[in-house]
Amino acid sequence: MANSNSSSYTTGMEETKRSTEVCLTFPPKVISPGLATILVEKDKDEQLMTYSGPRLHCQMVVIFVLTQIIHSLLKKLGLPLFISQILAGILLSPMLFSDRHSFVNISEDSVSVLGTVGALGFVFFLFLSGVKMDLSLTLKSGKKAICIGLLTVVVPLIFCMTTIKNLHPEGNEFSNKSFFLAVTYSGTSFPVIHSLLSELKILNSELGRLGLSAALIGDIVTLVLTVFSLWVKTGIEKGIKEALMDVGLALLFIVIVVFVLRPVMEWMVKRTPEAGQIKDMCFFIVVLAFMMSPRFTKLFRVYFLFGPFILGLAVPDGPPLGSALVEKLDPIISGLFLPIFATTCGLRFDPSYFKDSTKFAYHQAIGAVVTLLIKFVVSLLVPLLCKMPTRDSFALAFIMISKGIVEMGSYSIMNDSRVISEDIFTHMTIVIILVASIVPILVKKLYDPSRKYLCFQKRTIMNSKLNQELRLISCVHVPSNVSSIINLFNASCLIRDSSIALDVLHLVKLSGRATPLFIAHHKQKKTQPNKSYSENVVLAFEQFERDNREAVSVNVFTAVSPPNLMYEDICNLAMDRLTSFIILPFHRRWYIDGSIESEDQTIRSLNFDILERAPCSIGILVEGRRNLKGSNVRDPLASNNSSSYNIAVIFMGGQDDREALALAKRISQDKNVSLTVIHFKAANSLGAILTENDRMLDDAMLSDIKQSKCLTYIEKQVKDGPETSNYLRSIVEDYQLIIVGRRYKRENPQTSGLQEWCEFQEIGIIGDLLSSADFIGKYSLLIVQQQQRTT
């Protein structure tokens, strides 16, 4: 195999001219006869790496192993995986292997195959980015987001053009591509900012939502300016007639996408049953349209990267079509093809071009840095003028200047297509690596959304007066949670003198879209037909409110966000609504025989996050067990003809148990509720961990309980955990609801010997014991934790 490479550069005022001659072997060797066959034949010309198939596999293995090694070292510094992928490419590039024969860079044929696989991943990534974007949100963006998104693109662009003009006064702003490149420097990339916010886990925080809205506006402005710059450049170089032809064909392409392809995809969605899966045929048709889009963009004279992105924008976001595309394609694209593309971008990097850089390349580098600084200043000043906190404004400014895979991929493709020279590409690679490395670290230092959850006042049930409205939040994941929550409140026999303000938060997994949603249903005049989130939840709680008029007021909200960030929505709502108590559903449900009906580990992770961060008290509701196959057995808390509801409180002392007792007193004011307080006392006080302050508070609360004639007080002396367990097993079937304190990391004589058998730390030792298979019954459990985070 032989190749010759000759390059010639102008000063940047004209098109870059490079010619490359590559000799390839035909027919190409793809599939090897096998390692054993090659070793047996011992043919010097037959080597395993001469076949593109096994060579590609080995290259992928080397890339991923090297990337993970680098990332394991850099992630401690807070650097993103993208930087590790780029550095892996640089380490495998001709910079270290000057003879151009590294393991990855064996031959031109080898590089072309690897580059093709990576480029396919990048085009797929652009398509999926379009699928996730919802352009309708631009109409709902606030003035702050619109100003930030618009000004952070236009103002830096003007400064960049002015800087380059002053550095090179004899140049023409359009014929030398300066305007087009200036747009790429000042542009904002929505996918890059979305990826940054997701990695920092602030996607649905207040700052994250503002950043996403501004990025969406900025990305659209960047797209329009990029297309405009290409049209202007065409008009200057080829004439106004050719430019008008490009404009007409591009508009025709958009018309076909909007008025032909999108209606077809909406028709597919309408044919899909509610909450059903999109048909495979529809899925493959959309993928086929995507595969053909680069060819169509060539016919319509549209930049080929815009075709897949625009087609993605036409796909209805969210379920069922958008979510199906993202769920099926995103794992393999983000996990396999896109990392290969990022590494191939690093393979193109060659610092030797710094020595031979032209004046034009230096001017472009200076213009890019100036643009970055002006973009940062504009992104900082606008929030400050809107009276945003200084630290948050700095964090937002760094978010808006972030660079990533989109910019890296764009410059790599422009370099391959001879739009920019190697020296410009080298300069831009350095800028991207520096910005992408620094921004995540600084944003993480500046912005901590959990700070606002620190309260200056106690938001607990104990600190709420009995005749004062109690503000609660109930979280809903699945339909069965609705009935459990309603039955819980029905069991408490709501009364007007002790009213409840209930905020119901329906948590929906974000799928098929990039932007989280938070919907206040009481503020909507009508439900959108294509976004029927929580419709059944709203109807059920509206009926519940009518049945308990003046005793309870209900507001229903829907949060559509990633499961690992749902705690942000819950905590933000609790802060905004001055909530005293949050009710979370347990992640597991059982049948009556102790077998598991359903289990969701994402819900368990969410519960842990809330327990650590919540600005108020929390309760985890463990549903009563049901008959096998989910038959219509009556819920233990459901309304029945009995005259009373039997509720028990397990009390051992401590702040969580006091909060549980305060809740029980609150819901037992009605005469139809029979409350029993079971106080477990240690027969031997040795080993007790309660402080003197805790004992005083416990005694004060229990003295009121002992004097009350409206409830039953039972004092039980126990030696250890097994004795406590035996007693509980004998009495649990007498109650429909049992309330216990979580008492996390608090073990005393009453629970000694039970800690090592505790499976679910989030519900504490007693909660875990009562929910175990050893305790057969239809009672429900409510595990209470008092507010932890106060200043």
Q: Which residue has the tokens 């236009």?
A: 154
* DSSP string computed for 551-595: TEEEEEEEEEE-GGGHHHHHHHHHHHTT-SEEEEE-SEEEBTTS-
> Distance between alpha carbon 119 and the CA centroid of its chain, in Å?
25
| Domain identity same for 180 and 279 | yes
State the angle between helix axes of 692-707 and 655-667 in degrees (0 to 180), rounded to the nearest 10: 20
Give pLDDT tens digits for 440-459.
Answer: 999 999 988 777 766 556 78
Between CA 530 and CA 540, with CA 536 as vertex, the angle to 5 degrees is 150
Residue that is written with structure tokens 């001055």 in the block: 578
Position 402 pLDDT exceeds 90: yes
Strands 711-718 and 737-741: unpaired
Share above pLDDT 70 across residues of the chain, in percent, rounded to a whole number: 83
Residue 636 resides in a domain: no
Same-domain status, 424 and 482: no
**DSSP-assigned beta bridge partners for residue 581:** 472, 617
The DSSP result for 629-670, as a single string, is GG--PPPTTS--SSS-EEEEEEE-SSHHHHHHHHHHHHHT-S
**171-184: average pLDDT:** 71
| CA 97, 103, 106, 109 torsion-angle sign | negative
Q: What is the mean pLDDT of residues 334-342?
A: 91
Confidence of residue 403 (pLDDT cuts 50, 70, 90): very high
In a domain, 39, yes or no: no
Are 664 and 766 members of one domain? yes
CA distance 204 to 606: 15
Question: What confidence category does residue 150 fall into, taking pLDDT thresholds of 50, 70 and 90?
Answer: very high
Which pLDDT band holds residue 20 (cuts at 50, 70, 90)? Answer: low
Neighbour-count burial of 144, counting CB atoms closer than 10 A to its CB (0-12 exposed, 13-18 middle, 19+ buried): middle
Q: Mean pLDDT of all residues in the chain?
A: 82
For 83-101, write each residue's pLDDT tens digit.
999 999 888 876 665 554 4
Work out the average pLDDT over 668-696. 76
> pLDDT tens, 283-304?
999 999 898 888 888 888 888 8
Q: What is the mean pLDDT of residues 688-704?
A: 77
Q: Is the pLDDT at 62 greater than 80, yes or no?
A: yes
Q: Do 686 and 733 fall within a single domain? A: yes
Report the pLDDT value the prediction gives residue 599, as an integer from 0 to 100: 86
Tokens 């352009």 belong to 135
Q: Can you give the CATH number for the domain in which 498 is found?
A: 3.40.50.12370
| CATH code of the domain covering residue 99 | 1.20.1530.20
Q: Are residue 424 and residue 492 in the same domain, yes or no?
A: no
CA angle 129, 134, 138 (to 5 degrees): 120
**At residue 628, does pLDDT exceed 70?**
no
What is the 8-class DSSP label of residue 21?
E
> How many CB atoms within 10 Å of residue 109?
19
The pLDDT of residue 616 is above 80: yes
Report the C-alpha dihedral over residues 483, 486, 488, 491, rounded to 10 degrees.
-120
Of the candidates 21, 96, 14, which has an alpha carbon nearest to the alpha carbon of residue 358? 14
Q: What is the pLDDT of residue 82?
A: 92
Please tell me the predicted confidence (pLDDT) of residue 442.
94
Question: Is position 70 within any domain?
Answer: no
Provide, rounded to the nearest whole percent, the portion of the chain with pLDDT above 90: 27
- Ramachandran region, residue 63 (left: φ > 0; alpha: ψ -120 to 50; beta: rest): alpha
As a whole number, mean pLDDT of residues 616-624 equals 89
Answer with the residue of higher pLDDT: 293 or 168.
293
174 and 259 assigned to the same domain: yes
Rounded CA-CA distance 617/709 in Å is 28
pLDDT tens profile 185-241: 999 999 999 999 999 988 888 898 899 999 999 999 999 998 888 888 888 878 888
Is-contact 339 66, C-beta < 8 A? no
Pick the last residue of a domain from 447, 475, 496: 447
Please identify, among 408, 425, 447, the residue that sits at the C-terminal boundary of a domain: 447
pLDDT band at 505 (very low <50, low <70, confident <90, very high): very high
Residue 791 falls inside a structural domain = no
317 domain residue, yes or no: yes
Same domain membership, residue 665 and residue 699: yes
Of 424, 447, 470, which marks where a domain is finished? 447
Which position has the token pair 């195999």?
1
Give the per-residue pLDDT at 685.
Answer: 61
> Is the same domain home to 575 and 495?
yes
Whole-prediction pTM:
0.83
Residue 630 lies in a domain: no
* Predicted confidence (pLDDT) at residue 43 exceeds the cutoff of 70: no
Residue 6 has pLDDT above 80, yes or no: no
616 & 668 share domain: yes
pLDDT at 480: 84
pLDDT score recorded for residue 400: 94
DSSP letter for 317, please: P
Q: Which domain holds residue 710?
A: 461-523+534-624+643-785
- The per-residue pLDDT for 220 is 92
Residue 103 and residue 231 in one domain = yes
User: What burial letters (b/e) apply to 89-101, b meaning 16+ CB within 10 Å?
Assistant: bbbbbbbeeeeee
Would you say residue 50 has pLDDT above 70? no
| Domain co-membership, 198 together with 280 | yes
φ, ψ dihedrals at 479, nearest 5°: -55, -35
Higher-confidence residue: 76 or 40?
76
Higher pLDDT, 298 or 403: 403
Counted domains in the chain: 2
Q: Is residue 374 part of a domain?
A: yes
Max Cα-Cα span within the chain: 99
Domain-located, residue 663: yes
Euclidean distance between CA atoms 543 and 547, whole angstroms: 6
- What's the CA gap between 312 and 262, in Å, rounded? 10
**Alpha carbon distance 629, 636 (integer Å):** 17
Q: Give the per-residue pLDDT at 401.
A: 94
Tens-digit pLDDT profile for residues 481-497 = 898 898 888 877 666 66
* Cα–Cα distance measured from residue 632 to residue 654, given in angstroms and rounded to the nearest whole number: 39
Determine which of 557-561, 594-598, 727-731 has the lowest per-residue pLDDT on average.
Answer: 594-598
Of 577, 164, 148, 717, residue with least CA distance to 379: 148
**Confidence grade of residue 134 (pLDDT, cut at 50, 70, 90):** confident
634 falls in which pLDDT band (50, 70, 90)? very low
> For residues 747 and 783, which has the higher predicted lDDT (pLDDT)?
783
**What pLDDT sits at residue 643?**
54
Measured CA to CA, the distance from residue 109 to residue 50 in angstroms comes to: 10
Kindly state whether residues 584 and 545 are assigned to the same domain. yes
